Structure 1
Amino acid sequence: MEKEKKYRANVAAIVLSNKYPFECRILLGERSDMKGIWQLPQGGIDKGEDAKKALFRELKEEIGTDEVEIISSYPEWLYYDFPANAKAKMYPYDGQKQKYFLVRLKDKAKIDIHTKDAEFSAYEFVNLKKFFEVVNHFKKPLYSKVIKHFQEKGYI
């Protein structure tokens, strides 16, 4: 009998620049622990937090600001399994269940990735074409699903 998988609750943010809706550019961060791996800001939900509270905390921790407006959220939790090389680091979890939010930076918000426990070594706002050229790791199918949903809703 296969053991039941254990998933860590997590939030992820598609952060649009403050020029949205006139310009649709998405923030990607290059992981500080893995050169060449670009991803969306994300992080675990702490005990006692709801997803929105975790979203604002994680954005502050990862990009130095929580000055965003929530535009929408993906209607359900999405699951993914960790690749084999990450399982030891993330033990006892087999993967993550994520709640995705689409947010827009407020006009005066300032990005600062040089936070206490910096997760990103660089960041860039990219258009959708470049987004899918740059993101080429195991989360790409999940990102594609979420982006498609927000496109169908007319947000992106």
Structure 2
Amino acid sequence: MTPTEFESLPYRPCVGICLINREGLVWIGRRADEGLVEHVAPGHEWQMPQGGIDAGEDPFEAAKRELWEETNVRSASLIAEAPDWYSYDIPRAVVGERWKFKWRGQTQKWFAFRFEGDESEIDIDNPPAGEKEFAEWRWEPLANLPGLIIPFKRPVYENVVAAFRTLVP
């Protein structure tokens, strides 16, 4: 695929969820499928919940759905929406091998939610959608997240941190 052909591919519309607990820490999970071709930097398999927006689906509704599908969390309320859509390109090898040249990368609308439930509600081992996204999870300071994410997604996480930094102590 030539650079021009790559650049002409569309971005997949997605949402991202920044789930913040009562202490001001953010939920982050380690991907269960570490063997995927996009894991080009070992040790950086952590991310916040995210996923595709279905055709005709409102981004906010997609964010609530993705949060539930990946973590079982329903006890959360919206506290902020990022002002912009943030995009990243997938490495070209991944675009061909995993995405079959359908998407260039993803463009994401991010939402911050306040987690209002008990931690027992979080169940990554029995996801409602049936596909386990995460192998483990923890709470992490917002500022630490860019250093935990796969490098090609890091600029998006830096934008998310900037957009939501006033929401945490």
Determine the C-alpha separation between the residues in 1 that align with 2:108 and 2:159.
Answer: 13
Residue 77 of structure 1, CA deviation: 1.1
Deviations 1:48-67 (A, max 9, x none): 21101111111111111232
2:17 alignment partner AA: A
Determine the C-alpha separation between the residues in 2 that align with 1:107 and 1:131.
Answer: 22
Matched position secondary structure for 2:4: coil
Q: Does 1:73 align with 2:81?
A: yes
Determine the C-alpha separation between the residues in 2 that align with 1:101 and 1:76.
Answer: 11
Aligned residue among 5, 10, 13 for 1:6: 10
Q: Does 1:137 align with 2:151?
A: yes
Deviations 1:55-113 (A, max 9, x none): 11111111112321110011111111112342121231111110001111123461111
How many residues are matched?
A: 150
1:24 alignment partner AA: G
Q: Does 1:82 align with 2:105?
A: no
Instruction: Name the structure 1 match of 2:115.
Output: 105
Question: Structure 2 regions of 5+ residues with no counterpart?
Answer: 35-41
Question: Quick check: which one's helix share is greater?
Answer: 2
The normalised TM-score by structure 2 is 0.80
Instruction: Name the structure 2 match of 1:26.
Output: 26
> Following TM superposition, where does structure 1 have runs of at least 4 consecutive aligned residues deviating by more than 6 angstroms?
none
CA-based RMSD of the aligned residues comes to 1.9
Q: Does 1:44 align with 2:58?
A: no
Question: Structure 1 regions of 5+ residues with no counterpart?
Answer: none
Q: Does 1:59 align with 2:70?
A: no
Determine the C-alpha separation between the residues in 2 that align with 1:30 and 1:108.
Answer: 20
Instruction: Name the structure 1 match of 2:162.
Output: 148
The normalised TM-score by structure 1 is 0.86
1:147 alignment partner AA: V
1:112 alignment partner AA: D
